[in-house]
Amino acid sequence: TQLLEQSPQFLSIQEGENLTVYCNSSSVFSSLQWYRQEPGEGPVLLVTVVTGGEVKKLKRLTFQFGDARKDSSLHITAAQTGDTGLYLCAGAVDSGAGSYQLTFGKGTKLSVIP
Amino acid sequence: DTGVSQDPRHKITKRGQNVTFRCDPISEHNRLYWYRQTLGQGPEFLTYFQNEAQLEKSRLLSDRFSAERPKGSFSTLEIQRTEQGDSAMYLCASSISGGARDTQYFGPGTRLTVL
């Protein structure tokens, strides 16, 4: 069973500050996806990282996949109140039955205070 | 391009009743997943379809749960004899074979409350 540990679980910061969220596992993943989820809604895909060491940037968000494809980080620069939400990482493993079922972390609940 | 849609968005039912949820994936996506999310947790995998074939089921999927995807397009998830422990958000996701390691796109979910 693959487990993904996300840290921190809760984060409250002032607008304009930088932050990093971590996602760690002892398992190797085929890919890792980051989602953002609002209350009462489904997760919305932010990025998929596939290659070990890969870095992807999405405006003020920077995603990195660890060299061994076991961990990932999300860095937000100059946080804005609109960044408030639940950030979920999810690792994909080829189940052998043709699917890449996702194993999710518990999420990091981010609050950006004006 | 419409995303994944789910219906209903909310369902309140009494213990012991049967409920059915529907998921319409992104039109060209041949893979469809169901997940369940409880408060304070990330989503947990329930079952997977490739076209109309159900290829994988989680241990979480008790015999009261059944899912179908009869024509390889929309899918239904039925829960029989609901229990209070079934209260959760039920999420559907779809993807396309050959996509970047199967990037999955989620619907808005169906929030089930069992009284």
Is residue A26 helix, strand or coil? coil
Give the burial class of B14: count Cβ atoms within 10 A of its Cβ; 0-12 exposed, 13-18 middle, 19 or more buried.
exposed
Beta carbons of A33 and B42 less than 8 Å apart:
no
**Is A94 within 8 Å of A46 (Cβ atoms)?**
no
State the amino acid at position B99 in one-letter form. Answer: G
Q: What integer pLDDT is reported at residue A2 of this predicted model?
A: 61
pLDDT at B72: 87
> Would residue A74 be called left, alpha or beta, if left means φ above 0 and alpha means ψ between -120 and 50 degrees?
beta
CB-nearest partner of B100 from A40, A48, A102: A48
Stretch B18-30: mean pLDDT, rounded?
A: 95
**Cα-based angle A34, A39, A44 (whole degrees, multiple of 5):** 30
Query: How high is the pLDDT of residue B96?
Result: 86
Average of per-residue pLDDT values in chain B: 93
Burial tier of B91 (Cβ tally within 10 Å: 0-12, 13-18, 19+):
buried
Taking alpha carbons only, the member of A14, A41, A15, A81 closest to residue B106 is A41
Whole-number pLDDT of residue A47: 95
Q: What percent of chain B has pLDDT over 70?
A: 96
DSSP E strand stretches across chain A: 5-7, 10-14, 19-24, 31-37, 44-49, 55-58, 61-65, 71-76, 85-92, 102-104, 108-113
What digits encode the pLDDT tens for the residues A54-81? Answer: 999 999 999 999 999 999 999 999 999 9
Q: Which two tokens stand for residue A4?
A: 């993904």
Q: What is the pLDDT of residue B2?
A: 79
**Alpha carbons A67 and A88: distance in angstroms, whole number:** 20
Q: Do A103 and B106 touch (CB under 8 A)?
A: no
Q: Are A3 and A22 in contact (CB under 8 A)?
A: no
Angstroms from A24 CA to nearest CA on chain B:
15
Which of chain A's residues have a Cβ under 8 Å away from the Cβ of B30?
A: none
Place of tokens 């085929």: A30
> B100 falls in which pLDDT band (50, 70, 90)?
low
The pLDDT value recorded for residue B104 is: 92
- Tell if the CB–CB gap between A30 and B35 is shorter than 8 Å: no
In this prediction, residue A93 carries a pLDDT of: 83
Residue of chain B minimizing CA distance to A4: B42
Q: pLDDT tens-digit profile of B83-99?
A: 999 999 999 999 987 65
Question: Closest partner residue to A88 among B33, B42, B48, by Cβ?
Answer: B42
Q: Which pLDDT score is estimated for B60?
A: 84
Identify all chain B residues contacting A88, using CB atoms and an 8 Å cutoff: 42-43
Six-digit token string for A94: 């080829």
Distance from C-alpha of A83 to C-alpha of A55, rounded to nearest angstrom = 20
Q: Do B45 and A101 touch (CB under 8 A)?
A: yes
The mean pLDDT of B56-80, rounded to a whole number, is 93
B42 vs A31, A99, A107: nearest CB:
A107
Q: What is the pLDDT of residue B80?
A: 97
Per the listing, tokens 């408060």 go with: B39
Q: What is the pLDDT along chain A (114 residues), one digit of tens a residue?
A: 568 999 999 999 999 999 999 999 999 998 999 999 999 999 999 999 999 999 999 999 999 999 999 999 999 999 999 999 999 999 988 777 777 889 999 999 999 999
Chains A, B: CB contacts within 8 A come to 80
Please answer yes or no on whether A97 and B56 come within 8 Å at the CB atom: yes
Number of CB atoms found within 10 A of residue A40's CB: 11
